[in-house]
């Protein structure tokens, strides 16, 4: 094994890539958090190796996070598992990767920017799989060679990704025996031969690690920390929908939302519900409206292009006051954009997309675990307020997995206000009630037949073009959302101080870590992450911003959609700065800390 050195790095000063706030990385007892990436072409098994590593870390007692960087190709494109293993829950990837294992460099250029390295990083390359790219050298990282492909051939059926897995686990300090055990369970059903080949390759990888340069190793796993889950955002979204009471889903596949629907299909079938595949998004959303009208809480999941197709029907749901939830797992836009990467650029269409005055709900989970809580909340809110709700998740949450504590449940709500047969002859579906919500008759109930209508209508539901009916129904549909008390979950408020980070959705991850690092270094910073975007909550926001002199808005869009939304709906402090960067590069904690530092 020859170790190709690019510059002597041993003992070099640790130069953090990001801002001045990253605490010095001296870890006598081991690192609280280690970040690594396993990259290669699609089908090389980088993703599988990453998933097993996260599973092993979880079983060892650690917390962690794994996101995927993938090209649109089914096979052959770029594929990377980006992991962070830690002794405590983590909300975002770190500023850089401590370890990068490249099964091959074939597609590295396509996502080099998503793999920041530091002077302390170790890069493992397979000298038979292409030259080390120039960018790696420039990072100052230490490069070591490991002929993974050749080594794998020493084991019949062995694969390079298992060599990489063995090496990675050994390097960062995960128990080898557990890796083999997890592998056995995951590959068990594929038969003894595959298992033996993988276990063999794994052992070779572990052994090879001994001859590789040392790197940061994990501290001991935390003492038992209560129940922990290993779950993806899309799975959490599906589970939250189910827990909210959804019993009908109409599905049309679209990256990166399909996994929500694929998780729900068998689950609904076993819980008395149903998932039906539709011919297009127009059919999907209208089937959802039909099922909800018939009494079944209903939902669909899509991404930007699908949401655009569904907008007209969402207007029908607003006008006919039919509850439903649409989960928009956002991706790079506009148009086809970048289906496999994330962005927060559907806020405008979610808030303003419906034609006419069409009040509705817009919510957004701000972590992988929160996908469950926010989706469940959206379902019961939609049912209680008889309105469509758009849930803005994104690829960074949906297709990432995390080892987390079980997410908290949302508030319990009364659910749908159902008209009883007693309403009788005088039943008015769209009665002008004080709170705005009016009893909804479920088909099959005698005496309360009515026609739900997208056409403007009177209190009874008869078509009407009269100004009086139009104004009364517009007021009713707005009143029912604006007078409702959404309570604490409207936003996550953490920390105090005259400086505030105001963000939403997946950008909350790095913002939360930046806030924690800043506070650890003595700078008082508070975090405000909006979960409920529409309707706006002026009173609650004023209270949350009380005492704030400087505001840093953090979002991942090119057109500063969130910042404009804030200015349209809220009074902001005098001094406001904005970090607004489109996908696919995630904003890192260090980027936020660097901006805060300029306010010193």
Partner 1 sequence: MPDIPVSTAPVLTVQDFKSDIKPIWCPGCGDFSVLAALTKAFAELGRPRESIALISGIGCSSRLPAYTSVYGFHGVHGRALALAAGVKLARPDLTVIAAGGDGDGLSIGGNHFLHACRRNVDMTYILMDNQVYGMTKGQASPTTAPDWCESKLTPEGPGISPIAPLPLALAAGVNFFARGFAGNPNELARLITAGITHPGFAVIHVLSPCVTFRAEQRAWKQAVHALDGAPATDPVAAMTRFAGDDGFTTGILYAGSNPPFMPERQSAMLAADFEPGFVVERQGVG
Tell me which residues in 397-436 interact with partner 1 (CB under 8 A).
403, 406, 418, 421
Q: Is 454 in the site for partner 1 (CB under 8 A)?
A: yes
In the list 294, 524, 542, 543, the residue contacting partner 1 (rule: CB under 8 A) is 294
Q: Is 247 in the site for partner 1 (CB under 8 A)?
A: yes
State the CB neighbour count (10 A cutoff) for residue 309. Answer: 17
Cβ proximity to partner 1: between 175 and 573 the closer is 175
How is 307-353 classified by DSSP, letter by letter? HHHHHHHHHHHHHHT--EEEEEEE-B-STT-BTTS-----HHHHHH-
Cβ proximity to partner 1: between 20 and 443 the closer is 443
Cβ proximity to partner 1: between 26 and 446 the closer is 446
In the list 335, 446, 468, 598, the residue contacting partner 1 (rule: CB under 8 A) is 446
Tell how strand 401-404 and strand 229-232 pair up.
antiparallel
Q: Is 478 in the site for partner 1 (CB under 8 A)?
A: no
In the list 229, 342, 377, 490, the residue contacting partner 1 (rule: CB under 8 A) is 229
Binding to partner 1 by CB under 8 A, coded x per residue (else -) over 558-577, reads --------------------
Cβ proximity to partner 1: between 82 and 264 the closer is 264
For 46, the token pair is 């980088």
Phi and psi at residue 517, in whole multiples of 5°? Answer: -65, -40
Asked if 533 contacts 351 with a C-beta cutoff of 8 angstroms, the reply is yes
Kindly indicate which of the ranges 36-44, 91-99, 439-447, 588-596 contains the residues binding partner 1, using the contact rule CB under 8 A: 439-447
Sign of CA dihedral 127, 129, 135, 141: negative
Residue-wise over 512-542: b if at least 16 C-beta within 10 A, else e?
bbbbbbbbeeebebbbbbbbbbbbbbeebbe
In the list 282, 493, 576, 578, the residue contacting partner 1 (rule: CB under 8 A) is 282
In the list 30, 133, 140, 295, the residue contacting partner 1 (rule: CB under 8 A) is 295
Per CB under 8 A, which of residues 37..96 are in contact with partner 1? Answer: 55, 58-61
Cβ proximity to partner 1: between 10 and 224 the closer is 224
Q: Smallest distance, Å, CB 446 to partner 1?
A: 4
In the list 14, 220, 269, 524, the residue contacting partner 1 (rule: CB under 8 A) is 269
Distance of CA 314 to the CA centre of its chain: 23
Asked if 252 contacts 281 with a C-beta cutoff of 8 angstroms, the reply is yes
Binding to partner 1 by CB under 8 A, coded x per residue (else -) over 499-528, reads ------------------------------
Closest CA to 501 of 435, 579, 600: 579
Closest CA to 294 of 421, 452, 455: 452
State the CB neighbour count (10 A cutoff) for residue 578. Answer: 17
Q: Is 289 in the site for partner 1 (CB under 8 A)?
A: yes
Q: For residue 362, give the 3-state DSSP assignment.
A: strand
Per CB under 8 A, which of residues 151..190 are in contact with partner 1? Answer: 175, 177-178, 181
In the list 320, 473, 537, 556, the residue contacting partner 1 (rule: CB under 8 A) is 320
């Amino acid at each position: 094994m020859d170790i190709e050195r690019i510059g002597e790095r041993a003992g070099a000063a640790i130069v953090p890539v990001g801002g001045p706030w990253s605490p010095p990385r001296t870890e006598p007892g081991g690192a609280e958090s280690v970040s690594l990436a396993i990259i290669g072409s699609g089908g090389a098994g980088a993703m599988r190796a990453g998933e097993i590593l996260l599973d092993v870390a979880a079983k060892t007692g650690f917390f962690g996070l794994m996101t995927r960087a993938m090209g649109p190709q089914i096979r052959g494109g770029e594929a990377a598992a980006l992991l962070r293993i830690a002794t405590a829950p983590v909300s975002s990837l770190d500023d850089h990767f401590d370890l990068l294992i490249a099964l091959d460099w074939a597609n590295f250029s396509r996502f080099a920017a998503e793999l920041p390295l530091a002077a302390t990083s170790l890069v493992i390359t397979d000298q038979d799989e292409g030259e080390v790219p120039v960018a790696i050298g420039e990072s100052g990282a230490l490069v070591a060679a490991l002929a993974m492909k050749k080594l794998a051939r020493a084991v019949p059926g062995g694969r390079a990704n298992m060599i990489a897995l063995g090496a990675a686990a050994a390097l960062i300090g995960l128990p080898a025996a557990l890796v083999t055990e997890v592998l056995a369970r995951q590959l068990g059903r594929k038969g003894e031969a595959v298992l033996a080949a993988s276990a063999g390759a794994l052992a070779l990888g572990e052994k090879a690690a001994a001859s590789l340069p040392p790197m940061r190793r994990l501290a001991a796993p935390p003492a038992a920390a209560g129940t922990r889950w290993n779950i993806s955002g899309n799975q959490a979204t599906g589970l939250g929908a189910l827990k909210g009471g959804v019993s009908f889903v109409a599905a049309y596949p679209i990256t990166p939302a399909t996994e929500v629907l694929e998780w729900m299909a068998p689950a609904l079938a076993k819980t008395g519900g149903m998932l039906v595949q539709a011919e297009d998004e127009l059919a999907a959303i209208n089937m959802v409206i039909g099922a909800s009208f018939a009494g079944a809480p209903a939902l669909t999941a899509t991404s930007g292009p699908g949401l655009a197709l569904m907008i007209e029907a969402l207007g029908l749901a607003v006008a006919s006051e039919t509850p439903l939830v649409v989960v928009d797992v956002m991706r790079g836009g506009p148009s086809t954009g970048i289906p496999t990467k994330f962005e927060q650029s559907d806020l405008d269409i979610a808030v303003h997309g419906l034609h006419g005055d069409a009040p509705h709900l817009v919510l957004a989970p701000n972590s992988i675990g929160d996908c469950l809580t926010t989706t469940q909340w959206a379902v019961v809110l939609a049912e209680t307020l008889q309105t469509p709700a758009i849930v803005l998740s994104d690829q960074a949450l949906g297709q990432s997995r995390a080892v987390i504590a079980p997410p908290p449940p949302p508030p319990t709500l009364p659910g749908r206000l159902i008209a009883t047969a007693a309403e009788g002859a005088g039943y008015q579906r769209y009665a002008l009630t004080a709170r705005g919500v009016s009893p909804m008759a479920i088909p099959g109930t005698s005496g309360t037949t009515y026609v739900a209508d997208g056409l403007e209508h009177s209190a009874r539901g008869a078509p009407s073009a009269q100004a009086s009916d139009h104004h009364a129904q517009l007021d009713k549909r707005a009143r029912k959302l604006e007078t409702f008390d959404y309570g604490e979950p409207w936003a996550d408020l953490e920390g105090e101080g005259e400086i505030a980070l105001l963000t939403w959705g997946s950008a909350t991850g790095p913002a939360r870590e930046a806030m924690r690092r800043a506070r650890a270094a003595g700078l008082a910073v508070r975090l405000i992450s909006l979960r409920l975007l529409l309707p706006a909550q002026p009173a609650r926001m004023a209270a949350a911003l009380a005492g704030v002199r400087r505001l840093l808005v953090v979002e991942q869009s090119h057109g500063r959609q969130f910042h404009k939304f804030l200015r349209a709906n809220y009074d902001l402090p005098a001094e406001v700065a904005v970090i607004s960067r489109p996908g696919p590069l995630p904003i890192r904690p260090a980027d936020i800390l660097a901006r805060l530092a300029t306010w010193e």
